[in-house]
A and B are shown apart, each in its own frame.
Chain A
Amino acid sequence: MSQLNNFTKGFIKENPVFVLLLGMCPTLGVTTSAVNGLGMGLATTFVLVMSNLAISLVANLIPDKVRIPGFIIIIASFVTMVDMSMAAYLPSLHESLGLFIPLIVVNCIVLGRAESYASKNKAMPSIIDGLGMGLGFAFALTLLGGTRELLGSGKFFNFAIFDEGYGMLIFVLAPGAFLALGYIIAIINKLRKA
């Protein structure tokens, strides 16, 4: 597979959210607005790229039996870094993402890519794989966040599109997350088959 393919597969063909259905908790939990979705997506991208890089370099040194715990420690270290730097530089975003930042550790996408890709490939392809998958995840979260924000409060990236009075509040509340994602996946299924 060429490097370009390797990079773009995460966007549509193997999109972690819409197609593989991985990492659903942050997907549903933080996407009340496009900004939150993008922030979460980029934080996860950073963790993915760095952990893919680190794991591809040390995979041969880790005994097979303690592979998974080893990967989890590597991932958790990068998550802690993201957590602390976000708290320092982007306190308001950190506040609104809250619990979901430490929970990147248990995001199945990160461990999934580590196990199925980075542990078997060299550093460079692993970075590209992590970047592609991460940006695909960020794209999905931004799309879902944008949809919910637009339908729920009439804004897009905090920019008023139509009057707030027309917004359907349900879309920024909990049920709206399930409904919006359900319909988006249905549309994508339809488009993929066509």
Chain B
Amino acid sequence: MEYIIIIISAIFVNNIVLSQFLGICPFLGVSKKVSTAVGMTGAVTFVMVLATIVTYLIQKFVLDPFDIGFMQTITFILVIASLVQMVEIMLKKVSPSLYQALGVFLPLITTNCAVLGVAIMVIQKNYNLMESVVFSAATAIGFGLALVLFAGLREHLDLVKIPKGMQGTPIALITAGLLAMAFMGFAGIV
């Protein structure tokens, strides 16, 4: 039951993009086509869950026992950066087809603040390891949901005539605002 609440809350109520404002750069950057949005979601899910597990273990077994919590930011970002690099190298060897699908998105993920954000959030929320995994996976799904919905909307936006000043970013942001408004309807479920 506890896990279900975490999942629903992370996907709908506290959606990482639309209500926490993390991972906006890929949200605006790679959301022009549904297919790239799906690829990005896959890569983010993979890295986010892996990074959360590794940073969680480092926090509990290195930072906490030695009382060096102030090193959190530096450690986590380094772990995430090297993890992304490692995943990229391993994927290239082990599964070239998966690498083909996700490869181009991987380098972008290091600067995706959602990954570092989730890693820090699970520590702040005092989750245990299992809850952290569930939370990070659900957050990644929420990210993917927002991204795919938004990409679908933007594909249709290409077909309509938009006033000149509003073209490009402004209309994309306003569309995102309307999407965020729709997601506000989930508030109060949990």
Task: Give the interface of A toward B (CB within 8 A).
Answer: 21-22, 24-26, 28-29, 68-69, 72-73, 76-77, 79-80, 83-84, 99, 102-103, 105-108, 111, 170, 173-179, 181-183, 185-187, 189-190, 193
Cβ of B58 under 8 Å from chain A? no
Contact B24 A79 (CB under 8 A): no
A186: contacting residue among B71, B112, B121, B165, CB under 8 A: B165
Task: Give the interface of B toward A (CB within 8 A).
Answer: 18-25, 28, 70-74, 77-78, 81-82, 110-113, 116-117, 120-121, 124, 165-166, 168-174, 176-178, 180-181, 183-184
Contact B174 A99 (CB under 8 A): no
In the bound assembly, the distance between CA atoms of A106 and B116 in angstroms comes to: 8
A170: contacting residue among B110, B168, B181, CB under 8 A: B181
- In the complex, residue of chain B having the shortest beta-carbon distance to the beta carbon of A194: B165
Contact A174 B120 (CB under 8 A): no
B73: contacting residue among A29, A79, A182, CB under 8 A: A79
- Chain B facing A: main interface SS: helix
In the bound assembly, the distance between CA atoms of A190 and B163 in angstroms comes to: 11
In the bound assembly, the distance between CA atoms of A83 and B70 in angstroms comes to: 9
- Chain A facing B: main interface SS: helix
The interface residues of chain B lying within 8 Å CB-to-CB of A107 are 113
In the bound assembly, the distance between CA atoms of A72 and B80 in angstroms comes to: 11
Looking at the assembled complex, report how far the CB atom of A126 sits from the nearest CB atom of chain B, in whole angstroms: 21
A182: contacting residue among B22, B70, B169, CB under 8 A: B169
Contact A99 B169 (CB under 8 A): no
Contact A72 B20 (CB under 8 A): no
The interface residues of chain B lying within 8 Å CB-to-CB of A185 are 169-170, 173
Looking at the assembled complex, report how far the CB atom of A192 sits from the nearest CB atom of chain B, in whole angstroms: 10
Contact A181 B22 (CB under 8 A): no
Contact B77 A80 (CB under 8 A): no
In the bound assembly, the distance between CA atoms of A102 and B169 in angstroms comes to: 27
In the bound assembly, the distance between CA atoms of A178 and B24 in angstroms comes to: 11
In the bound assembly, the distance between CA atoms of A77 and B72 in angstroms comes to: 10
Looking at the assembled complex, report how far the CB atom of A95 sits from the nearest CB atom of chain B, in whole angstroms: 12
Contact B180 A175 (CB under 8 A): yes
What would be 29 A-B contacts, judged by CB atoms less than 8 Å apart? A21-B28, A24-B25, A25-B21, A25-B22, A26-B21, A29-B20, A69-B78, A69-B81, A72-B78, A73-B78, A80-B70, A80-B73, A84-B70, A99-B121, A99-B124, A105-B73, A106-B112, A108-B111, A174-B184, A175-B178, A177-B21, A177-B180, A178-B174, A178-B176, A178-B180, A182-B171, A182-B173, A187-B165, A189-B165
